[in-house]
């Protein structure tokens, strides 16, 4: 196959499903999902997330994959193909992964550092107070680990769709699922008695995680949970960042899109739920509800303490856990980089080799700035939503709180009111395949999804703030 003479494609439907699921199953599911679930009371967050995943998430996922396959273009040029006036959506959709890629590699470097710590049998040091802060505030070590993570990602993307992304997704995703399932089941068997004689079990933590608590629930708390779950969906299913349009453009015309989308949706939701099941019962058993309120530090601060409390088996579990997170982080970073590479190839007709090298160089430069944001370039900036940000937080805020909802909102307007839902429905039903949730899709893309996205954007811009 000659570069740019014929668009690359996944060789099989299962290859497409695993690659797309691999993109969706990343740090968003294994890191962000559990701490949001813990923060928002477990079962209530879970209920909101599942409802939104099979309505809102389904709508955006279907729209982007269908746009990709119909246009056979990367997001930068796909929107222009549909309607020239909406070409700006493609620019925003391409900017999102450009912003995300460097800081995702920085976080991926943190994961590799913890993996190395457990491989070298130094897991106990990771449980010490100040270990995480000491590491990320170091000047050179975070940069080195960031570059190693980037090199792994670049290697897969450099090898292309069939020999790179599809091949490694087929290997990593089944292993990832088996490991997550195994450690999730083990979490349920845990039991611990603290110094006060109080005994907590993994089953108790699991029940907190899955059973919604409506007692004393206020409308404000419900809205916080709904907005958190809505924001999480962008991370979980990789929409509004050009990835699913890119992967959709590699799907063959004979692929049953609706069946594939359903399987991606189910796979991603199961992994997200298992990630919470893997983490929350264990944290609750050894740290109680206080440990569950650790927020973003749940994975890098609270969990190592949990593993340390388990004795020798904790070191093994820590190793397996950070291996799982490494696999998940790599599959997602590959999709983020591929979205950028695909845009460059389509727009400038560059080869995959040239595009991959340019993206890698850019990621090293900006990724280094992100790492230095915790030492030499440290600052504190108050954001419109009331939080305080450093370099990484600022990039995350712009990409995920502003640009992604904007991309999703205007995509819904384009498909719902300009090109019309039939544009997507015709692509999904090509080959006489059925679109069983067609009525739901039309209602969501025209009315419900834009309304939810508008509320999310108003919150992000600080028009109103929901406070717990």
Positive or negative: CA dihedral 369, 373, 374, 377: positive
Asked if residues 450 and 458 have their Cβ atoms less than 8 Å apart, the reply is: no
Number of domains in the chain: 1
Strand-pairing partners, residue 382, are 388
The residues, ordered by sequence, that sit 6+ positions from 173 with a Cβ below 8 Å of its Cβ are 18, 21, 22, 25, 331
Q: Report yes or no on 354 lying in a domain.
A: yes
Q: Report yes or no on 311 lying in a domain.
A: yes
Q: Report yes or no on 340 lying in a domain.
A: yes
Tell me the CA end-to-end span of the chain in Å, nearest whole number: 55
Predicted confidence at residue 6, as pLDDT, reads: 61
C-alpha 129/C-alpha 88 separation (Å) is 46
Asked if residues 210 and 34 have their Cβ atoms less than 8 Å apart, the reply is: no
Q: Report yes or no on 246 lying in a domain.
A: yes
Q: Report yes or no on 160 lying in a domain.
A: yes
Strand-pairing partners, residue 191, are 201
Q: What is the DSSP letter of 392?
A: H
Q: Report yes or no on 465 lying in a domain.
A: no
Which CA distances in Å does 200 have to 34, 211, 366?
A: 19, 17, 45
3-class SS at 389? strand
Name the pTM for this structure: 0.91
Residue 165 sits in a domain whose CATH number is: 1.20.1740.10
Predicted confidence at residue 3, as pLDDT, reads: 38
pLDDT tens per residue across all 468 residues of the chain: 333 346 778 877 888 887 877 776 778 778 788 888 888 878 999 999 999 999 999 999 999 999 999 999 999 999 999 999 999 999 999 999 999 999 999 999 999 999 999 999 999 999 998 999 999 999 999 999 999 999 999 999 998 877 777 787 888 888 888 888 998 999 999 999 988 889 999 999 999 899 998 888 888 889 989 999 998 998 888 899 999 999 999 999 889 999 999 988 888 888 888 888 988 898 889 888 777 766 667 789 888 988 998 888 999 999 999 998 898 889 889 999 999 999 999 999 999 999 999 999 999 999 999 999 999 999 999 988 778 899 999 999 999 989 999 999 999 999 999 999 999 999 999 988 999 899 999 999 999 999 999 999 988 887 766 655
Tokens standing for 141?
Answer: 């070590």
Burial class (CB in 10 A: 0-12, 13-18, 19+), 378: exposed
The residues, ordered by sequence, that sit 6+ positions from 443 with a Cβ below 8 Å of its Cβ are none
Q: Report yes or no on 4 lying in a domain.
A: no
Range of the domain at 199: 15-460
Strand-pairing partners, residue 381, are 389
Tokens standing for 323?
Answer: 């291996």
- Residue from 436, 177, 443 nearest 324 by CA: 177
Alpha helices in 349-401 (DSSP H): 352-372, 391-396
C-alpha 228/C-alpha 241 separation (Å) is 18
Q: Report yes or no on 371 lying in a domain.
A: yes
Length of the chain: 468
């Amino acid at each position: 196959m000659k570069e740019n003479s014929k668009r690359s494609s996944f060789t099989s439907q299962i290859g497409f499903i695993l690659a797309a699921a691999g993109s969706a199953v990343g740090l968003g599911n294994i890191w962000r999902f559990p701490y949001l679930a813990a923060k928002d009371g477990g079962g209530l967050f879970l209920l909101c997330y599942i409802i939104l995943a099979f309505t809102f998430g389904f709508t955006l996922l279907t729209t982007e994959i269908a746009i990709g396959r119909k246009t056979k273009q990367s997001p930068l040029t796909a929107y222009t193909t549909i309607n020239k006036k909406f070409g700006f959506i493609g620019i925003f959709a391409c900017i999102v992964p450009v912003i995300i890629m460097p800081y995702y590699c920085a976080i991926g470097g943190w994961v590799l550092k913890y993996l190395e710590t457990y491989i070298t049998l130094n897991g106990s040091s990771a449980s010490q107070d100040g270990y995480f802060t000491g590491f990320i505030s170091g000047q050179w070590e975070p940069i080195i680990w960031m570059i190693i993570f980037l090199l792994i990602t670049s290697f897969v993307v450099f090898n292309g769709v069939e020999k790179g992304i599809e091949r490694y997704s087929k290997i990593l995703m089944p292993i990832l699922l088996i490991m997550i399932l195994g450690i999730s089941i083990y979490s349920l068997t845990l039991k611990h008695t603290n110094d006060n004689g109080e005994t907590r079990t993994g089953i108790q933590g699991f029940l907190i995680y899955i059973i919604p608590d409506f007692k004393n629930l206020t409308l404000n708390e419900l809205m916080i949970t709904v907005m958190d779950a809505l924001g999480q969906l962008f991370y979980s299913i990789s929409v509004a960042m050009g990835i699913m349009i890119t992967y959709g453009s590699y799907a063959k015309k004979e692929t049953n899109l609706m069946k594939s989308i359903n399987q991606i949706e189910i796979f991603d939701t199961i992994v997200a739920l298992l990630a919470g099941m893997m983490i929350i019962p264990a944290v609750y058993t050894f740290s109680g509800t206080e440990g569950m309120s650790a927020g973003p530090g749940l994975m890098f601060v609270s969990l190592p303490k949990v593993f340390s409390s388990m004795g020798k088996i904790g070191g093994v579990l820590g190793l397996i856990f950070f291996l799982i997170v490494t696999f998940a982080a790599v599959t997602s970073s590959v999709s983020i980089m591929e979205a950028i590479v695909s845009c460059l190839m389509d727009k400038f007709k560059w080869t995959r080799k040239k595009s991959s090298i340019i993206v890698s160089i850019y990621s090293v430069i900006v990724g280094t700035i992100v790492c230095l944001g915790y030492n030499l370039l440290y600052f504190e900036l108050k954001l419109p939503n009331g939080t305080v940000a450093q370099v990484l937080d600022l990039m995350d805020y712009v990409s995920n709180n502003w640009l992604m909802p904007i991309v999703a909102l205007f995509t819904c307007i384009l498909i719902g009111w300009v090109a019309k839902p039939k544009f997507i429905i015709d692509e999904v039903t090509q080959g006489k395949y059925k679109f069983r949730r067609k009525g739901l899709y039309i209602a969501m893309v025209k009315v419900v999804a834009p309304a939810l996205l508008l509320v999310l954007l108003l919150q992000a811009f600080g028009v109103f703030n929901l406070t717990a």
